[in-house]
Amino acid sequence: MKACNIIAPTPLQSASRHDLPGQVPGRAISSVRCLFSGKSPRIFYVRQKSGRSPQRASAADNICTCAEKDDKTPWADGGGITGSWKDHAAAARSGFLTGVERANDGDVDIAMWAMQVAAEDDAIATHSVVELPVKPYLKRIQSLVTEFVNNHLPQDADDIVIARAVESFLYQTKKYRLAEKQVICESAVYSPYRIYLHNVLPQKCGTPTSLAVILIEIFNQLKAQGAMKSVPEVAYSQLGGVDSLPFAQDPEAPVTNNVVTCTPKAIMADTNQWPWEWMPGTTNGFLTAGEAAIGNDGRFGRNVANTFVPAKGRAFGDVNRALIAAERLSLLLPEEPYEMRDYGVLLYHVGREQDAYQALLKYQSCPRAELQRTAAKLGIQPVGSDANSTLREEEVLEILMEMLQREAVKSAFNAPSAPKEEE
């Protein structure tokens, strides 16, 4: 997982999560300096169009490819706890998958997409029978648009002038602002709660990307009403401070460095990040989780899944939500093999050894993963990463795979034999 708005920024030129500022290619599990993502816990289902009962599907298989909305709707069962909250989670995941499809086509409602993430996490975290009210929250943005049009819309102005008026309205009149970063393990990060749109809208406080969602949605609604001819690209500076407030890019202005363009996929990738602690001297969080999994850190065991890395504050260190977020990232960015690696080690931490083994096998069979292993052995590493830590990641992964193989053999020997049929 990567860390948007965190340390060691690099320009974002594509929708890949691994191009997000402060993130290094192939880093899904985050910690100290990075926002953490994780994949969904528990059971995945294949929903059949015929209406038959859903059949269980391999978690790793469903994660590897982005499921078609009508055929596959993977989601977490939250550990077997029953209740209508699972229906809410499944509906939100279906909406998220619709957003993935539309983003690939270049036509996505980014605000609705972001709210589906919030709705799924809310359902699984709270097990509430009451669904998160998505539409009422979105109406808050509609109310902002109505107020702007009635009182602040420049007359006969071009799009960039209107965009600047929207920015002034949002940040000065309505007082939307950037959240303050929290110091987690000596690094400054945003609280995950400042990413959720249903928190940002009423509290008027969010990360650059969550505020960008609001700004883009206002532009979209103004265009739909005919007030704007087109929707300008939204970006923010990586330099920090007030300059990190998202703004409309002027197509006539020269391109500047240290600016992140907020494409829908980049926004959604950042929405699925969670802060986590990094091991000192590393550039990502996989090594932290991997060392804990094989018992080399001297502090944590696999059975304490919710605290295998010290969390500072209730928003940090939530393994279950990390699992859910990483699952969404795999669906959003199926071409990124590192999501599968991170998913596998997280599955191990929640005691799902078989699923963890299958996920890690799929990661190892990916050509990009094979290339990284070869590069690590040759001392070649991605920009911003450390050769020693990259090589150590591969060593930890090999040890973990050996552990999983031994456990699989042990389970097979200990499994009760099937009763013999009487002749």
Per-residue pLDDT tens digits for 361-403: 989 888 877 776 676 666 665 554 555 677 888 889 999 999 9
Indicate whether 314 belongs to any domain.
yes
Could you tell me how far CA 199 lies from the centroid of its own chain? 17
Domain that holds residue 385: 275-411
CA angle 115/120/126 to nearest 5° reads 120
Q: Please give the single-letter amino acid code of residue 52.
A: R
Residues near 213 by beta carbon (within 8 Å), at least 6 away in sequence? 110, 111, 114, 197, 200, 267
Beta strand 182-184 with 205-206 is: unpaired
pLDDT, position 61: 39
Helix (H) or strand (E) holding 163: helix 159-168
Least confident of 75-84, 243-252, 320-329: 75-84
pLDDT mean over 149-175: 97
Indicate whether 35 belongs to any domain.
no
Torsion from C-alpha of 230, 262, 106, 65, nearest 10 degrees: -170
Greatest pairwise CA separation for the chain in angstroms = 90
pLDDT, position 234: 96
Helix (H) or strand (E) holding 109: none
Higher pLDDT, 392 or 109: 109
For the entire predicted model, the pTM comes to: 0.74
Nearest CA to 67 out of 87, 38, 96 is that of: 96
Residue 247 pLDDT greater than 90, yes or no: yes
Indicate whether 248 belongs to any domain.
no
- Both tokens assigned to 119: 């709705």
Q: Say if residues 333 and 339 touch (Cβ distance below 8 Å).
A: yes
Q: Say if residues 39 and 2 touch (Cβ distance below 8 Å).
A: no
Indicate whether 336 belongs to any domain.
yes
Direct distance between the N- and C-terminal alpha carbons of the chain, in angstroms, rounded to an integer: 57
Least confident of 52-61, 166-175, 216-225, 354-363: 52-61
Q: Where do we find the tokens 């091991």?
A: 279
Indicate whether 246 belongs to any domain.
no
Least confident of 115-124, 172-181, 187-196: 187-196
**Nearest-angstrom CA–CA distance, 29 and 290:** 10
Nearest CA to 33 out of 61, 57, 10 is that of: 10
Q: Which of 185-194, 218-227, 352-361, 396-405 has the highest mean pLDDT?
A: 218-227
Domain count, the chain: 1
Using one digit for the tens of pLDDT, what is the confidence trace for 250-289? 988 887 788 999 999 999 988 887 656 556 666 566 887 8
Q: Where do we find the tokens 């986590």?
A: 276
Percent of the chain with pLDDT over 90: 37
- Confidence grade of residue 306 (pLDDT, cut at 50, 70, 90): very low
Residue 332 pLDDT greater than 60, yes or no: yes
pLDDT, position 369: 75
- Confidence grade of residue 175 (pLDDT, cut at 50, 70, 90): very high
Indicate whether 92 belongs to any domain.
no
- What phi and psi values does residue 237 have, to the nearest 5 degrees? -85, 145
Indicate whether 342 belongs to any domain.
yes
pLDDT, position 366: 84
Q: Say if residues 179 and 190 touch (Cβ distance below 8 Å).
A: yes
Average pLDDT over the chain, rounded to an integer: 74
- Confidence grade of residue 40 (pLDDT, cut at 50, 70, 90): very low
Indicate whether 160 belongs to any domain.
no
Q: Which of 141-155, 170-184, 290-304, 335-349 has the highest mean pLDDT?
A: 141-155
Q: Say if residues 268 and 97 touch (Cβ distance below 8 Å).
A: no
DSSP tag of 171: I
Q: Say if residues 35 and 24 touch (Cβ distance below 8 Å).
A: no
pLDDT, position 29: 40
